[in-house]
């Protein structure tokens, strides 16, 4: 975090903010801290982000987008939609659980950020259900799924698996038996979708 003479960009501010949030947590991370980490005055940060809330929002979006990108690969694969959907949910669950388990403090930090910015979260959920919709559509096209409205079915499947990706359930993800519960819900959902 040595002050550098590189030009101050939104990206550098974002990276510094992530670091400050990691170190200080959501309550104590201030714009002044971010500016100090970059070796600039806090007024300069406000040139790139209108408010502290906007800065946090950008950080949150970046964090959520990384998950979406990791799952996009599964959607693009060319194989049985049912097992692709199972793998997609398994990957989503694994990714979230890893984040929550590896650095619980950082995960708690992002839970706070997520609670602040419903708009970003809605966009993230729209992203994910969009991916799922593609899988459902593919399944309908191949005749293995029966869904009158793929977007509605995708959203229902996403909602139904909430216990395995919604952060509000994070504390349950380490308990024994959660794997079995996950398998049972995914099996139920896939049975409900099949033609």
Partner DNA sequence: CAGATGACAGATTTCAATATCTGTCATCTG
Partner DNA sequence: CAGATGACAGATATTGAAATCTGTCATCTG
Q: Which of its own copies, DNA, none interacts with 30 (beta carbon under 5 to 8 A by kind)?
A: DNA
**Shortest approach of DNA to residue 127 CB, angstroms?**
27
Q: Which of DNA, its own copies, none interacts with 192 (beta carbon under 5 to 8 A by kind)?
A: its own copies
- Residue 41 contacts by C-beta under 8 Å, 6 or more apart in sequence? 35
In the 8-state DSSP scheme, what is residue 7? P
The rounded distance, in Å, linking the Cα atoms of 4 and 130 is 41
Q: Is 114 in the site for its own copies (CB under 8 A)?
A: no
The rounded distance, in Å, linking the Cα atoms of 179 and 176 is 7
Site string for DNA, 24-43 (x = CB under 7 A): ---xx-xxxx------xxxx
Q: Is 4 in the site for DNA (CB under 7 A)?
A: no
What are residue 149's phi and psi, to 5 degrees?
-130, 100
List 20, 156, 165, 173, residue binding its own copies (CB under 8 A)? 156
Q: Is 190 in the site for its own copies (CB under 8 A)?
A: yes
Q: Is 117 in the site for its own copies (CB under 8 A)?
A: no
**Shortest approach of DNA to residue 56 CB, angstroms?**
9
List 2, 27, 76, 180, residue binding its own copies (CB under 8 A)? 180
Residue 145 forms beta bridges with which residues? 194
- Span near its own copies by CB under 8 A; candidates 33-41, 72-80, 130-138, 176-184: 176-184
- Residue 171 C-beta-side C-alpha neighbours within 13 Å: 2
Tell how far CA 128 is from the center of its chain: 9
DSSP codes joined into one string, 110-147: HHHHHHH-HHHHHHHHHHHHHHHHHHHHHHHHHTSB--
**In the complex, which residues of this chain contact DNA (CB under 7 A)?**
7-8, 27-28, 30-33, 40-44, 46-47, 50-53
């Amino acid at each position: 975090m040595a002050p550098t003479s590189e030009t101050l960009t939104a990206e550098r501010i974002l990276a510094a903010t992530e670091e400050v949030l990691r170190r200080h947590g959501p309550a104590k991370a201030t714009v002044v801290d971010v500016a100090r980490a970059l070796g600039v005055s806090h007024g300069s940060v406000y040139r790139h982000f209108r408010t502290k809330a906007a800065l946090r929002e950008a950080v949150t979006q970046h964090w959520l987008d990384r998950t979406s990108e990791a799952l996009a690969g599964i959607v693009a694969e060319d194989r049985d939609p049912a097992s692709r959907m199972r793998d997609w949910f398994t990957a989503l669950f694994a990714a979230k659980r890893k984040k929550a388990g590896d650095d619980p403090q950082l995960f708690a930090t992002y839970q706070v950020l997520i609670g602040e910015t419903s708009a970003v979260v809605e966009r993230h959920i729209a992203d994910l259900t969009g991916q799922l919709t593609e899988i459902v559509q593919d399944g309908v096209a191949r005749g293995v799924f029966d869904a009158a409205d793929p977007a509605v079915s995708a959203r229902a499947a996403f909602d139904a698996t909430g216990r395995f990706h919604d952060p509000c359930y994070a504390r349950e993800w380490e308990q024994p038996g959660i794997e079995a519960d996950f398998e049972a819900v995914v099996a139920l959902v896939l049975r409900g979708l099949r033609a």
